């Protein structure tokens, strides 16, 4: 079954981790995928892997914090590939400086994290609004367990604020665009093993164990764990689902 046949999907941060897995999964379901990443080589490598497996993929360098670059690339993609019907706002960073840490470092974290995790979502969504409205498209935003919680394990207020913001944006946009048939949902990953947390996993096994101990399914997640829910939210399987967040956290939020 090709759940995403005839769709054109854009995935930001598609060169690594969760974005890479989602783009690969979407291509497997028949979507033509456009992979965006600030790391052009990583996006190109993922696109090549998708093509080698028989999918259709193009890659583009993009820094989603640049509104102008998002709009310029949206124009290029529409002209070269067609009207985007699925947008996955995935690119994001996490840092674990406490708010009481060095003032300048905390201010830089705030700027960088909000610019990417929240403003990047805004930039991309605005840039693709026209094709998404024309195609009665679907938006999938990547939130977090920190769309609801602030972790007692070290994290940053900026990251928590950004992911709460992603959920609020998801709900507000779903309400505004629903009448036009555009669906807007989010995914809330738990601790997923990706390069984003490679250093933590390598240097702080206690922290990782704290996560696992708190997780009913008793393990960390893998990027592939996000793929099924991401396909669900982009496909007609979720035709009557909008404004919600699907938690993919091994049950972390339930205990």
Q: Alpha-carbon distance 123 to 232, whole Å?
A: 24
- The enclosing H or E element of 107 equals helix 103-113
Which of 46, 59, 90, 155 lies at the binding interface for ligand NAP (CB under 6 A)? 90
Q: Is 137:88 a contact under the CB 8 Å cutoff?
A: no
Which among 235, 129, 196, 113 has a CA at the least distance from the CA of 162?
113
Using the contact rule CB under 6 A, the part of the chain among 27-35, 51-59, 62-70, 127-135 near ligand NAP is: 62-70
Region of 220 (left: φ > 0; alpha: ψ -120 to 50; beta: rest) is beta
Least Å distance, CB 154 to ligand NAP, is: 14
Least Å distance, CB 251 to ligand NAP, is: 15
- 3-state DSSP call for residue 88? strand
Whose Cβ is closer to ligand NAP: residue 135's or residue 185's? 185
- Using CB under 6 A as the binding rule, the residues of this chain from 180 to 199 that contact ligand NAP are 189, 191-192, 194-197
Q: Is 57:27 a contact under the CB 8 Å cutoff?
A: yes
Which of 8, 74, 140, 142 lies at the binding interface for ligand NAP (CB under 6 A)? 142
Catalytic residues: 159
Q: Is 229 in the site for ligand NAP (CB under 6 A)?
A: no
Evaluated on CA atoms 231, 11, 21, 223, the torsion sign reads: negative
Q: Alpha-carbon distance 186 to 188, whole Å?
A: 7
- Using CB under 6 A as the binding rule, the residues of this chain from 13 to 52 that contact ligand NAP are 13, 15-19, 37-39, 42
Least Å distance, CB 115 to ligand NAP, is: 8
Q: Is 62 in the site for ligand NAP (CB under 6 A)?
A: yes
Whose Cβ is closer to ligand NAP: residue 39's or residue 56's? 39
- Using CB under 6 A as the binding rule, the residues of this chain from 93 to 132 that contact ligand NAP are 93-94, 116
Q: Alpha-carbon distance 32 to 58, whole Å?
A: 8
Least Å distance, CB 114 to ligand NAP, is: 12
Q: Alpha-carbon distance 12 to 9, whole Å?
A: 10
Residue 36 sits at the vertex; the CA angle it makes with 15 and 171, to the nearest 5 degrees, is 105
Q: Is 247 in the site for ligand NAP (CB under 6 A)?
A: no
Least Å distance, CB 134 to ligand NAP, is: 25
Which of 91, 139, 184, 245 lies at the binding interface for ligand NAP (CB under 6 A)? 91
Q: Alpha-carbon distance 249 to 137, whole Å?
A: 26
Least Å distance, CB 5 to ligand NAP, is: 26
Q: Alpha-carbon distance 225 to 203, whole Å?
A: 24
Binding interface with ligand NAP (CB under 6 A): 12-13, 15-19, 37-39, 42, 62-65, 90-94, 116, 142, 144, 189, 191-192, 194-197
């Amino acid at each position: 079954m090709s759940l995403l046949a005839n769709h054109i999907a854009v995935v930001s941060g598609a060169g690594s981790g969760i974005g890479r897995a989602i783009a690969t999964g979407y291509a497997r379901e028949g979507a033509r995928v456009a992979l965006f990443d600030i790391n052009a080589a990583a996006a190109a490598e993922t696109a090549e892997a998708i093509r080698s497996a028989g999918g259709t993929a193009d890659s583009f360098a993009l820094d989603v914090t640049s509104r102008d670059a998002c709009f310029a690339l949206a124009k290029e993609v529409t002209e070269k590939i067609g009207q985007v019907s699925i947008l996955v706002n995935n690119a994001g960073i996490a840092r674990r400086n406490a708010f009481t840490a060095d003032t300048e470092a905390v201010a830089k974290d705030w700027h960088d994290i909000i610019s990417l995790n929240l403003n990047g979502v805004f930039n991309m969504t605005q840039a693709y609004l026209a094709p998404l409205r024309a195609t009665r498209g679907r938006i999938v935003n990547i939130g977090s367990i920190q769309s609801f919680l602030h972790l007692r394990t070290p994290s940053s207020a900026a990251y928590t604020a950004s992911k709460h913001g992603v959920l609020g944006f998801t709900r507000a946009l779903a309400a505004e665009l629903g009448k036009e048939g555009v669906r807007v949902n989010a995914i809330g990953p738990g601790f997923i093993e990706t390069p984003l947390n490679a250093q933590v996993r390598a240097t702080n096994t206690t922290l990782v164990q704290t996560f696992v101990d708190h997780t009913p399914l008793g393990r960390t997640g893998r990027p592939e764990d996000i793929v099924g829910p991401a396909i669900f939210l982009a496909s007609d399987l979720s035709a009557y689902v909008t404004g919600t967040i699907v938690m993919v956290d091994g049950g972390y939020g339930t205990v």
